[in-house]
Amino acid sequence: MGKQLVFVLMLCIFGLVMGTFSVQAEQTESSKARDHQQKLLTKTDLGLPEQMVRFDYDSGYSFIYPKDGVRGIYVTGNSAGGQRFLSLLDLINTSELNSMVVDIKDDHGYLTYRPEEDSPFYNISQNFIGDTDQLMETLEENEIYPIARIVVFKDTVLAEKKPELSFLENGEVWKNGRGEAFVNPFLQEVWEYNIDIAEKAAKMGFKEIQFDYVRFPEGFERRDEILEYRLGNYEDGDDNVQKRVQAVTDFVAYARERLASYHVDVSVDIFGYAATISEAPGIGQNFSKISENVDVISSMIYPSHWTPYFGIDKPDLYPYELTKEYAKVENEVLDALEDPPVSRPWIQDFTASWLGAGNYKKYGKEEVEAQIRALNEQGINEFLLWNAANRYTQGVNYKPLD
């Protein structure tokens, strides 16, 4: 009788366990139907710990992806937390714009808001955005789609704080001609540092994490054997270009997996010319490989940033022609991918007077609309406006083909 009781109990336990597995299986099948699947993160090939994502995060905010696509502006931390925010809010509410890309980790490496005092990021934070809850509530009330910009590998703050995570020259942190330092994309510690910040942005309620400066310093191919730095999990092999490409691509893929449970889109800013070549050898950007691992790809295609290209001698003078020719190339590259991301280029809303007389023109309503029209004609209906000072042209028709 005792053995029978034990047997019955064992059957019950087995049934409960299998029932749990069945529920989990049903949940897994259900999750496959979501836009952003939850994934088992297995990165043992990179020497990373195996971990599982087993939760869904709800920030409590309700933001809906714009039905006719994102049309956004760049907003610094200072602007998001200062008086200029009101004018930017008015610009969006009185135009066809619908989104803001807000600095959460800026070009220097600072957080633009104060986290809790016991946060590991408190000492690298600035109180630009005094109340992040109020910011998110305002964006929600005004139906403005929120995107968090996080500058990744250009990070003077972290480089100076932890030189071992950077590139050294004669024992000192190397800086480029603008006095900017970079941290090392080969190192997992640098990855985790930035993705931890991205997770905090997702918890705030941002619906997209936009990673910028996902690359090595410009011209790194001329310095890769001069500077002192660690290779982390990328020591094997003799092709330094492919090591850089792999490290950058792997970071993007890993970041997307780490953020899957927050149901946020992941986007990457990338040099426009990267779409026109197989890969950028120094900085490690391969347009196709990065595009395969993101939800949105945002090429920086400002006419002022091109040397003679596409048969155009002075690109800044021809915003429509430059943008049109670029869009044709990008479409070809993305069309070759099995599951291409959304294309959402950065376009120019500033005047590049530093190019010198005869090489630039004053950008205003006509020039901004010309870029948008060129994109729209090539089937690209999303864009972001860049002006470092956040002073955008008034009276622009952001849907010129309607």
pLDDT recorded at residue 186: 98
Cα-based distances in Å from 43 to 23, 117, 237, 238, 389: 26, 32, 19, 22, 40
Q: Across residues 115-127, what is the average pLDDT?
A: 96
Q: What is the pLDDT of residues 284-312, one digit of tens each?
A: 999 999 999 999 999 999 999 999 999 99
| Alpha-carbon span 349 to 385, nearest angstrom | 6
- Residue 143, CB-side half-sphere exposure with 13 Å CA sphere: 10
Return the number of other C-beta atoms located less than 10 Å from residue 60's C-beta: 8
Confidence band (pLDDT; 50, 70, 90) for 84? very high
Q: Is the pLDDT of residue 210 over 80?
A: yes
Angle ∠(144,145,148) on CA atoms, nearest 5: 120
Residue 86 has pLDDT above 60, yes or no: yes
- Residue 118: C-alpha distances to residues 114, 123, 335 (Å): 11, 10, 47
How does residue 55 score in pLDDT terms, banded at 50, 70 and 90? Answer: low
Mean pLDDT throughout 168-196?
A: 97
Distance CA 326, CA 64 (A): 30
pTM confidence score: 0.86
Confidence of residue 60 (pLDDT cuts 50, 70, 90): confident
What pLDDT was estimated at residue 57? 79
Q: Any idea where the domains of the chain sit in the sequence? A: 1-33, 44-386
Q: What percent of the chain has pLDDT over 70?
A: 86
Q: What is the pLDDT of residue 139?
A: 98
Rounded (5°) CA angle 400-355-178: 110
> Which tokens in the block code for residue 228?
């002192």
CA 362 to chain centre: 29
Asked if residues 124 and 111 have their Cβ atoms less than 8 Å apart, the reply is yes
Q: Which of 392, 353, 396 is nearest to 372 (CA)?
A: 396
Strand, coil or helix: 102: strand
Tell whether the model's pLDDT for residue 358 goes beyond 50: yes
Q: 109 versus 16: which is more confidently predicted? A: 109
Instruction: State the pLDDT at residue 402.
Output: 87
Q: Which two tokens stand for residue 292?
A: 């395969």
- Hey, what CATH topology would domain 44-386 get? TIM Barrel (3.20.20)
Asked if pLDDT for residue 61 goes beyond 70, the answer is: yes
